[in-house]
Structure 1
Amino acid sequence: MGADYYGILGVSKDADESQLKKAYRKLALKYHPDKNSAKEAQKKFHDISEAYEVLSDKDKRAIYDQYGEEGLKGGGPPPPGAGGFGGGGGFGGFPGGGGGGPSYTFSTGGGGAGGFRPTDAEDIFKQFFASFGGGGGGGMPGMGADEEDDMGGGGGFGGRGGMPGGMGGMGGMPGGGRRARPAQHRPEPEKPPALERTLAVSLEDLAKGVTKRLKVTRKVTNPASGRTSDKILTIDVKPGWKAGTKIRFPREGDEYPNGAIQDIVFTLEEKPHPVFTRKGDDLVMTLELTLLEALTGGFSKVVKTLDGRSLPVSASSSKITQPGQEERFPGEGMPISKKPGQKGDLIVKFDVKFPTTLTAAQKAELKKILS
């Protein structure tokens, strides 16, 4: 029967896809030549990969289960549904054989499209860190899986049924004919989690917009370029951006051995301001008043805006200001990023400061006034 693929992977003949994957992953990590310098590691790794490539493909596995390794490499018949043969034709390797079915080639050469390269990190480590792709005709990256349909010179097997043996052949028999290669399915490496960083920006910069240039150092897997590389990333912060805004740079993070590259994501963070607090598109500030100012009015104060202008805040002498009272100044808040040219409001909250002590005379006078 040739190679015992089930024995090589250490699984039973009824092993399902997940069991095959688990067994392959464990053995591949153990015997990969980059991790195992023993002389027999490369051959062992090739055998493991070949076994998984066959058993993970339902068509190849069906042929192997019935005819063994020679059925795959020597022209065994295709599984049911792969094409019918007529009366006179036989199967390759059997008496009267007119031809064979699919032919699969495995090699350790580093060249052609069918070659399996056990030291190619891009191909091999995809299996360590990537989700396992494949399916019916896919197979593993870097492994050749050529389906041959060679038609003999004097005739051959077609959709109408078989011609008498000797008239033509399939699967490695002499003759002209055509060669059909199924498309190789190379699964994409599993995308690693993004590298998260914060970008602290002042309210002044968020009010007018600013350009930030950030130097990032990323890990690389190419020995020729060293272990790390530096790059300057530019972020144009737009007026009105809010805390929590995310800026993503695809494939600018660390490189992984399986060929995948991280994204870098910067999350905007507002620096605390000594005067203003942001609330959506509005700015909120607190303005202190003495009890006298709150009760008698007639005060006039100046507030410096984020862009450096002077904004007067006042109350007439007939107005009493309550503790916690607010005054709103439309259009003096933050720019609204989705509505160019528009701004939120400035909300001024009044904090009335009460005296901590009063003399007996002051209290008597207040009683007289307020009673």
Structure 2
Amino acid sequence: MGSDYYETLEINRNAGDADIKHAYRRLALKFHPCSTNKETGSNEKFSQLGEAFDVLSDPRKKATYDKFGEEGLRGGIPLEFGSGGAWSSKYVYHGNPDKTFRQFFGGDNPFADFFANDAPLQFCGLQPGDVKTKDCHIERDLHLSLDDLFHGCTKKIKISRRVMNDDGYTSSIKDKILTIDVKPGWKEGTRVIFPKEGDQGPNSIPADIVFIVRQKSHPLFVRQHNDLLYKVLVTLEMALTGFSVDVETLDGRQICIPINDIVHPAYRKLVTGEGMPESQDPSQRGNLILTFDVQFPEKLSAESKHLIKQALALKY
């Protein structure tokens, strides 16, 4: 016969959620293996409490257990009519009562807030406040234009976070302005870290806030590392006979680039030093690379075809 989870937690079957939590809190502290009370500390009892609470604190597991018992909980039960013969998943306790315990109390030192007979409880050599866990870092996207990343800029971002009051027990929500100095040449994915600017808590170390650079698209340029790609539409005549391209750079200059070569499908024109600044040394810059989209005529007259044939028949 299996365990009676209600009996394990020393409660009746009419117990509500608050009763279940209260019972687990009392018994888990009493039977924790690291308790200084050697008469009650027990690995086996502590594990039974963890499994009982894992089931009874979950409404679905509890409902299944109440109606079908431990056998139905562990073996699965048929789902509602029309589900194609599907059964519910079988319950298996993860086997780590310490994980259940820490999730319930929070932190690596869940005993920090508990006192008995006006004296702090001691578990596994820990005193209240000895151990604090650091919250997982918080990531936020920082959307920047190509112009921002070319010139550099300053961004101010307001955050709201929970801050501990002077009494050390209560907290309140306060706003704070974080300043980000964007350096010329920063790339997509650059991370800016503000240590410990997350929510504060009595038993935790605030999380780091991490901003990740996301580059907005630009109407003229496509960035490729430190190079800038610029697409030019040209006619077949221009591709064969030559032309010049006027480009307005990100720093507001107009440059004229002559194209004297034949523009074939794989042709690219490289203009050195007109790309993005390098983040480590902004005085050094990548290249501007012109790519070409040759627009062919949709149709030609017989006379035009004859003239083109004559022209192409000439020696180059």
Indicate the RMSD between aligned Cα atoms, in angstroms: 3.6
Partner of 1:64: 39
SS at match of 2:133: coil
Task: Check conservation: 1:126, 1:189, Cα contact below 8 A.
Answer: no
Which of 21, 33, 50 is the aligned partner of 1:30? 21
Q: 1:301 and 1:342 mapped to 2: Cα distance?
A: 24
Task: Check conservation: 2:159, 2:176, Cα contact below 8 A.
Answer: yes
Partner of 2:105: 128
Superposed CA offset, 1:24-69 (max 9, x none): xx999812xxxxxxxxx8xx956753543xx315xx46x5379xxx
Task: Check conservation: 1:129, 1:190, Cα contact below 8 A.
Answer: no
Partner of 2:238: 293
Task: Check conservation: 1:27, 1:48, Cα contact below 8 A.
Answer: no
1:212 aligns with 2:155: yes
Q: 1:301 and 1:216 mapped to 2: Cα distance?
A: 46
User: CA, structure 1 residues 29+130, in 2 after alignment: closer, same or farther (shift >3 Å)?
Assistant: farther
SS at match of 1:367: helix
Task: Check conservation: 1:201, 1:268, Cα contact below 8 A.
Answer: yes
User: CA, structure 1 residues 65+277, in 2 after alignment: closer, same or farther (shift >3 Å)?
Assistant: closer
* Matched pairs, number: 231
Q: 2:300 and 2:129 mapped to 1: Cα distance?
A: 85
SS at match of 2:305: helix
Partner of 1:111: none
- Structure 1 or 2: more strand by fraction: 2
1:195 aligns with 2:172: no
Superposed CA offset, 1:278-325 (max 9, x none): 11111111122221111111x222111111111211134xx3222341
1:332 aligns with 2:274: yes
| TM-score (norm: length of structure 1) | 0.53
Which of 226, 230, 236 is the aligned partner of 1:281? 226
Structure 2 gaps of 5+ residues are 1-6, 10-16, 42-100
1:370 aligns with 2:312: yes
User: CA, structure 1 residues 28+313, in 2 after alignment: closer, same or farther (shift >3 Å)?
Assistant: farther
1:303 aligns with 2:247: yes
Query: 1:225 Cα deviation (Å)?
Result: 6.0
Partner of 2:259: 315
Superposed CA offset, 1:228-249 (max 9, x none): 3221111011111100111122
Which of 297, 304, 307 is the aligned partner of 1:355? 297
Query: 1:353 Cα deviation (Å)?
Result: 1.5
SS at match of 2:39: helix
User: CA, structure 1 residues 132+336, in 2 after alignment: closer, same or farther (shift >3 Å)?
Assistant: same
SS at match of 1:64: coil
SS at match of 2:139: strand
Query: 1:207 Cα deviation (Å)?
Result: 0.9
Q: 1:224 and 1:257 mapped to 2: Cα distance?
A: 9
Partner of 2:48: none
Q: 1:65 and 1:293 mapped to 2: Cα distance?
A: 91
Q: 2:140 and 2:19 mapped to 1: Cα distance?
A: 35
Once the two structures are superposed, the pairs formed by residues 1-371 of structure 1 within 5 Å of their partners are 10=8, 30-31=21-22, 48-52=28-32, 55-56=33-34, 60=36, 63-64=38-39, 128-131=105-108, 140-141=111-112, 144=120, 184=127, 186=129, 188-219=131-162, 226=172, 228-255=173-200, 258-297=203-242, 299-316=243-260, 319-371=261-313
Q: 1:353 and 1:212 mapped to 2: Cα distance?
A: 42
Runs of 4+ in 1 over 6 A off after TM superposition: 26-29, 124-127
User: CA, structure 1 residues 325+254, in 2 after alignment: closer, same or farther (shift >3 Å)?
Assistant: same
SS at match of 1:343: coil
Higher-Rg member (1/2)? 1
Task: Check conservation: 1:213, 1:232, Cα contact below 8 A.
Answer: yes
Superposed CA offset, 1:323-354 (max 9, x none): 34111111111111123421111111122221
SS at match of 2:185: coil
